[in-house]
Amino acid sequence: MTSDFRQRFVFDNLDVRGCIVRLDETSSNIQATHHYPKNLANLLNEFSLAASLLRDSIKIDGSLTIQLRSKGAIELVMADCMTDRRVRAIAEYSQEELAADHVLALNQLGEGTTLAITITPEEGDRYQSIVPIEHVSLAECLKDYFDRSEQLPSAFVFHSKEEQALGIALHALPKEKVTDAKMATEHFTRLQMLLSTLTQEEALGLDSPDILTRLFHEESCRLFDSHGVEFGCVCSAEKSLEAVRALGLDDLKSLIEEQKSEGKQSLVVDCHFCFQRYEFEFDQLIGLFN
């Protein structure tokens, strides 16, 4: 098993499946490039876990993005999980307004805050869902979203401490093993309550079999093979040029004149996720419009 992984499991006698995601090295790589305060780093870890868990739940090839935008101290929190399960994440915030010891409650980030899930298929149109922000934690907001939109109960738990992160998702399945609706609901409620008892020490210190034994020792639960997850970016010189082209010729010319006035001989485009730098000659950029 790699240090970072996703691993599915299923209950033999109940219509419920689950997934465990651990992102220790990925979290370390994300934090190493930006040095976020601890509270924001932990929130960003939760978004990374959520992106990976949600990507695992969709049945199409493509990437999934979960992002929060706000007009307050935290302007952006975003995590992507690509088709090959690579994960990247970034946050933008005001250092003057965000206290390192401030408890981050999503439903108290201010008016105009939005939380969205975007799925970008490899073929077909991108589509986006807005997640209501009526709860303190990301886990609670996602549970509420699935209850409303998918009409199949779901539950999430995230535990993060600096460069360690683990998340678990439970999803109810169409009724086959337990056909009585009331009983099926009671079973899922019980599993959800058990999941909520997982402590941070257990989540970050135990392996997957021990976690499931600790939580669901009275259930027949099968754990499948793990699959590696890693930090990764999709930036490239080609995509950077596409972003420059999107400026339009007039704005590009103004940008080039500004760069020349500062004595620069080329335009440098930085990737905010991985800090990869791409440098382009001015003539090359103008040539995009020929």
> Which region, left, alpha or beta, applies to residue 263 given φ > 0 means left and ψ of -120 to 50 means alpha?
left
Mean pLDDT confidence for 7-35: 92
Domain with CATH 3.90.1280.10 in the chain: 237-289
pLDDT above 60: residue 1: no
The predicted structure's pLDDT at residue 235: 66
Using one digit for the tens of pLDDT, what is the confidence trace for 84-100?
A: 888 999 999 998 888 87
pLDDT above 80: residue 132: yes
Mean pLDDT confidence for 42-63: 91
Class of domain 237-289: alpha beta
The predicted structure's pLDDT at residue 180: 93
Mean of per-residue pLDDT scores for the chain: 89
Region of poorest pLDDT, from 108-117, 118-127, 193-202, 231-240: 231-240
**Of residues 271 and 41, more confidently modeled:** 41
The predicted structure's pLDDT at residue 150: 65
pLDDT above 80: residue 270: no
Query: pLDDT band at residue 70, thresholds of 50, 70 and 90?
Result: very high
Which CATH superfamily does the domain covering 5-228 fall into? Hsp33 domain (3.55.30.10)
Using one digit for the tens of pLDDT, what is the confidence trace for 133-173?
A: 999 999 999 999 998 876 779 999 999 987 899 999 999 99
Domain with CATH 3.55.30.10 in the chain: 5-228
